[in-house]
Amino acid sequence: MDLEEIRDFLVQLARTAGEMIREKTGKVTWDDKMNSVDLVTETDAAVERMVKEQLASKYPDFKFMGEETAHGVLTADPTFIVDPIDGTTNFIHRFPSSCISLGFAVDKVPVVGVVYNPLLDHMYQGVQGKGAYFNGQKLPLKPPSELSLGTALIAIEWGSERSGPNYTCKTQTFANLAASDGGMVHGFRSMGSAALNLCSVAAGTLDAYWEGGCWAWDVCAGWAILAETGGAVVHGNPGTDKAAVDSRVYLAVRAGSNQQKFIADFKSHIKGS
């Protein structure tokens, strides 16, 4: 299987999707899915249709999983895992932080990732064993320094589940990290796109990203990119270490010394740990 050829094809698809997304950004109406903060537009569906058709014709033997049309259960078979617009809320508001996220997993391991933000023309891509790049520049964008919670810039997301125990766990964990007895993190950023958060961790411009509630299509491509930079994705719950692409709860940490200590420190701030 030629992973670089797959990457090149995904880059081409991402650019075509980018034109569709750019043309409609800020001009769309939306529908609610699970609730009034879980949104979808006709463009999400149109992009996914185009990508699915193109992939089926070029790679008929590979499986497809996509946010809008094909949830299914992830198997060990080679599978494209696609979010046609990650950051749909930003797309609707014209906040320039949404992307198409095209991942490819084999044996459930993300091995190719292409993430493209068409409004900013930011293209991230990575192939297992071949490195990861941002607009042609090798990632990470700065030398990996020591990780420490007290100096960390962390991506958090509110997600679309806004009540119940998971929501309480999130908000209390944010508060613990913001101002706990053990010190304060430098800050939080909430860009509204799991894939772009992961790419920023890969770039080293964010130290970590923690979220519960997202899906394989939100993380597969960004994970493949991050893994190529020495970054880690672990399970985001305190009692579990290893994450799978469909774990739904993730902690992603950039490359750097003290990575394991950073992960342990982070997890000790999760509410209930």
Catalytic residue numbers?
67, 83, 85-86, 88, 218
Distance CA 127, CA 228 (A): 7
C-alpha 21 chain-centroid distance: 18
Q: Please name the helix (run of DSSP H) or strand (run of DSSP E) that holds residue 109, with its range, or none.
A: strand 109-117
Please classify residue 28 by burial: count the beta carbons closer than 10 Å to its beta carbon, then call 0-12 exposed, 13-18 middle and 19+ buried. middle
The length of the chain in residues reads 273
The residue among 33 and 130 lying less far from ligand IPD, judged by its C-beta, is 33
Q: Please, which residue, 67 or 265, has the CB nearer to ligand IPD?
A: 67
Are 234 and 251 in contact by the 8 Å Cβ rule? The answer is yes
- Measured from the CB atom, the residue of 22 and 138 that comes closer to ligand IPD is 22
For residue 83, what are its two tokens?
Answer: 């979010």
Q: What's 236's DSSP letter?
A: S
| 116 versus 259: smaller Cβ distance to ligand IPD | 116
- Strand bridging mode 109-117 / 122-127: antiparallel
User: Please, what's the largest Cα pairwise distance for the chain?
Assistant: 56
- Min dist CB 114 to ligand IPD, Å, is 16
Residue 213, interface with ligand IPD (CB under 6 A)? yes
Among 146-154, 188-196, 230-238, 243-251, which window interacts with ligand IPD (CB under 6 A)? 188-196
**Cα separation of the two ends of the chain:** 42
CB of residue 174 vs ligand IPD: minimum separation in angstroms?
13
Q: Name the segment binding ligand IPD (CB under 6 A); options: 84-92, 112-120, 172-180, 201-209.
A: 84-92
What would the x/- binding string for ligand IPD be over residues 151 to 170, using CB under 6 A? ------x-x-----------
Instruction: Measure the CA–CA gap between 31 and 86, rounded to whole angstroms.
Output: 16
Which residue in the set 111, 177, 194, 202 belongs to the binding site for ligand IPD (CB under 6 A)?
A: 194
- The verdict on 86 binding ligand IPD (CB under 6 A) reads yes
Q: Are strands 99-106 and 109-117 parallel, antiparallel or unpaired?
A: antiparallel
- Does residue 48 touch ligand IPD according to CB under 6 A? no
Pattern of binders to ligand IPD over 228-247, x per CB under 6 A? Answer: --------------------
Residues engaged in binding ligand IPD (CB under 6 A): 67, 83, 86-88, 157, 159, 192-194, 211, 213-214, 218
